[in-house]
Structure 1
Amino acid sequence: MTTLPYTLDADDPRDCPMGLIVLQTDETIESDFRQVFAEQSTPLYVSRIPSDPQVTSDSLARMKQALPAAAELLPKARTYGVVGYGCTSASSVIGSEAVEKLIKETCDTAAVTNPLRAAAACASDLGVARFALLSPYVEEVNATLRAAFAAQGISMDVFGTFGVAEESKVVRISTASLVDAAVRLGTDSSVEAVFLSCTNLRTLEAIPLIREKIGKPVLSSNQSLAWHMRRLNTVQNR
């Protein structure tokens, strides 16, 4: 065997990597992020976290114990500009501050966000606060989510749900169903925007269709999270 010489390329200090923690049951967010970040050179590393096939308040709360281990599985060679935790409903149960603390226990990152925190930042950027909420969740999860948004100054008095607890069904809800339901909620004169909650919902194609029909901003978990991660990482890369 011959040991051969080699050189090492230096990392670009202006290009901090991003990390993403994805639910074991999520079949959507990675595909969405590949589309959203297709033209961006910034590395995006993904880790998975164990999650229950059924979405309940108890199953969401259990992810709190697994977050540090999931974050620790991200590559450790460089400091991250931002790490995103890809679960809207669990973020409302665990709390955004707790999510950040747990991730930073095992991952060196400048910032942490999640779809709840990201959607609130996006709403503030757009200057809207009265949302219609469309979710796939059962009511116990919806109530916690709406309360978490209310604590951020965002009202979701108009809301509707598909009432689905099984993640394998959530990801297969049709674009037509999303559009029909969101338009029904979003045309209410009391709301300024619509939020489509759940990283497993296939919302990217639905968003422009809904926006065209109601003439109001339309946000989703994945769209908001990607937007906020890009913004936070840009700050670190300056």
Structure 2
Amino acid sequence: MTTVGLLYPGHSAEDDYPRIAVLLDSDVRLPVFHTDIGEDAHREDALIEMGAPARLTAGVEELRLAGAESLVWACTSGSFIRGWDGAQEQIRGLAQTAGLPASSTSFAFVHAAQALGVERVAVAATYPDDVTASFEEFLERAGLDVTGARASGVVTAAEVGTWGREQVLELARAGDDPRAQAVLLPDTALHTVAYLEELETVLGKPVLTANQVTVWEGLRLAERKVWAERTGVLFARPEDRIVAE
């Protein structure tokens, strides 16, 4: 049994995690520990406060007692908004507090793209323009070429959590770019796990979503490899991965 502990802000799309655990059909546990979201706003000051050390470390002891072998801060905007160096400092602090390998969804996107050999990405974001631009900068700092970005202007995670299949598919289509080798949907408040297979079929390329890469990152940190169908190219066996040139 491999246990990946997830620190998740508030309540929006955390039911994606038991859903992907079922799809992985393996001895993997993904317990979710909720952090205090503070003000629910996709705004720089609110996002920085949401990822403040005191808010994150409050749930770490419970996570450790659950037998977690790795820890992921299951939030994209609450990490990349601090910039590359600030996001690294954030996860270093979590790792030191928990005594576990740690990461965040922001770094999960980078590592997932690297694992697929992807260099050019398009971003399909629920965020406002300025927050989306901060994610672009983060990805570019990691050496990825952002060929295009779609900002939807949604202010709260609560609203994003109400989006269904049609809205997710439309977001992905609108954010796609013919030059991109993969499309990234960066909000952990967005339900995507049920649509991973369909998203990749519709776009004809890998689609990386926040809750998907969060789980993959936690398993990577725990040095556990899991191959599965219906969870996107990211969880396909290496010989079965097809990435656009």
Pair in the same fold by TM > 0.5: yes
- Check conservation: 1:131, 1:158, Cα contact below 8 A: yes
Relative distance call for 1:167 and 1:185 in structure 2 (3 A) is closer
Matches within 5 A, 1:99-118: 99-109=90-100, 111-118=101-108
Distance in 2 of aligned mates of 1:104 and 1:189: 38
Matches within 5 A, 1:161-176: 161-176=151-166
Distance in 1 of aligned mates of 2:66 and 2:149: 44
Percent identical among aligned pairs is: 23
Relative distance call for 1:40 and 1:140 in structure 2 (3 A) is same
Q: Which amino acid in the other structure matches residue 50 of structure 1? A: D
1:6 maps to which residue?
none
2:229 maps to which residue?
none
2:170 maps to which residue?
180
Matches within 5 A, 1:137-156: 137-156=127-146
Distance in 1 of aligned mates of 2:180 and 2:43: 27
Q: Which amino acid in the other structure matches residue 74 of structure 2? A: G
* Alignment RMSD (CA, Å): 2.0
Q: Which amino acid in the other structure matches residue 199 of structure 1? A: T
1:19 maps to which residue?
5
Matches within 5 A, 1:31-70: 31-38=15-22, 39-51=25-37, 52-62=39-49, 63-65=51-53, 66-70=55-59
1:88 maps to which residue?
76
Deviation of 1:169 after TM superposition, in Å, equals: 0.8
Distance in 2 of aligned mates of 1:202 and 1:175: 8
Deviation of 1:35 after TM superposition, in Å, equals: 1.8
Measured against aligned partners, the alpha-carbon deviations of 1:85-113 in whole angstroms (never above 9, x if no partner) come to 0100111023332222221242121x112
1:11 maps to which residue?
none
Corresponding pairs, count:
217
Distance in 2 of aligned mates of 1:117 and 1:75: 21
Q: Which amino acid in the other structure matches residue 81 of structure 1? A: E
Relative distance call for 1:162 and 1:77 in structure 2 (3 A) is closer
Q: Which runs of 5+ in 2 are unaligned?
A: 226-245
TM-score normalised according to structure 1 size: 0.83
Please say which structure displays the higher CA radius of gyration.
1
- Check conservation: 1:115, 1:225, Cα contact below 8 A: yes
Deviation of 1:120 after TM superposition, in Å, equals: 1.0
- Check conservation: 2:72, 2:217, Cα contact below 8 A: no
Deviation of 1:190 after TM superposition, in Å, equals: 1.5
Q: Which runs of 5+ in 1 are unaligned?
A: 1-14
